Structure 1
Amino acid sequence: MHRKLLLDQLSEYAVTHPDENDVIDRFVSFIENETRCFERSLGIGHITGSAWVVNEDGSKVLLTHHKKLNRWLQLGGHADGMTDVLAVAIKEAEEESGLAGFSKVGAGIFDIDIHPIPARKNEPEHLHYDVRYVLRPTGSLKFIVSEESHDLSWVDIDCVINHTTEESMMRMVQKWRNMR
């Protein structure tokens, strides 16, 4: 089953994050019921992979000022059929930052979130079932702003709130503080 890897990771995540059972249950139900859950063409929603990219000492996170959404967010994007969502997060982090090479920090999934994406052009409003991992660059921290972003910035963990008050971003700040 092409969905087994992610379902197994979500099962492990549920053990360490029992307070998130509602969103975990919604995630699992979506994956089990939608065989095309990794495909962007699934109009109701799809799996995305994101990266909470931290510097060497973990004091900063790399955020993108996303062009389409006009918000400061973590790096990430569509699975586009890839079922290894960690590989998706790494690929997206590389494409959106120009950084080459990442190591995964911590065991398993860092965070999950289900959020609506507004309708745009010919695309209806839909949900992103976002799976997030902590990544650390293995080389230079000098980024390149891609066409998908207005800007990128290494932001002190304590200053993320100056860029966004979005609930899921603040939840990741707190989770990262607890991991360090």
Structure 2
Amino acid sequence: MNRSQLRYLLEHYRTVFEEEQQFVAEFLDLVEDPLAFHRERTAGHFTASSWIVNKTRTHTLLTLHKKLNKWLQLGGHADGNDNLLEVCLNEAREESGLTSLRLVDRTIFDIDRHLIPSKGEVEEHYHYDVRFLIEAEMDESLTMSDESTELAWISFDMVEAVVNGNVSILRMLEKTSRSEIFS
């Protein structure tokens, strides 16, 4: 995937969720920015993440993010790489140690624009997060990165309590439960 393929996927991205529909135009505008995939774009930049689920769709892998102190999906900065699918898979491997990761679909699973608070010398900015659906084996051992305080498979029925109402995670959970995604 490159910048033009990302543009194509965004142009054809369809969602029933109103908040995502509002993001699409902003994401398409950002694709045109030469610094879109770089942290140096201080107003905001692309990130990529994985909604990792087990094969039977009963659990998701979440990390307690050290800097944000929130349970989140695994992911991170593009750091100049315009192949967000590659970024997503690399971040998932680095943050979990999993080798059984399998892309369910090459299309975008979810998009979200969220504000990252200032910390140290890094100013408040937006992450334009492009998310892909990934499957992994739950019996494989996990290796936590230094970006996490905890890393755990969370059962779907516990996700809402763990993420404290994080709308974007609850949206991905709802998408996972829709049968059309897997048909």
TM-score w.r.t. the length of structure 2 is: 0.90
Aligned length: 177
Unaligned runs of 5+ in 2: none
Residue by residue over 1:26-77, the C-alpha shift from the partner in whole angstroms, topping out at 9 and shown as x without a partner, is: 1111222x21100111111110000001112121000000000000000000
- Distance of 1:143 and 1:84 partners within structure 2: 25
Residues 56 and 177 of structure 1, relative CA distance in 2, 3 Å threshold: same
Give 1:58's aligned amino acid.
Answer: R
Runs of 4+ in structure 1 displaced over 4 angstroms? 16-19
**Cα RMSD for the two superposed structures:** 1.7
- Distance of 1:120 and 1:89 partners within structure 2: 24
Tell me what 1:24 maps to: 24
- Distance of 2:175 and 2:7 partners within structure 1: 21
Q: Is the 8 A contact 1:46 1:127 kept in 2?
A: yes
Unaligned runs of 5+ in 1: none
Give the match's secondary structure for 2:82: coil
- Distance of 1:18 and 1:61 partners within structure 2: 21
Q: Is the 8 A contact 1:101 1:138 kept in 2?
A: yes
Tell me what 1:161 maps to: 160
Tell me what 1:133 maps to: 132
Question: Aligned ranges for residues 11-160 of structure 1 at < 5 Å?
Answer: 11-14=11-14, 16-17=15-16, 19=18, 20-32=20-32, 34-137=33-136, 141-160=140-159
Identity of aligned residues (%): 40
Residues 87 and 138 of structure 1, relative CA distance in 2, 3 Å threshold: farther
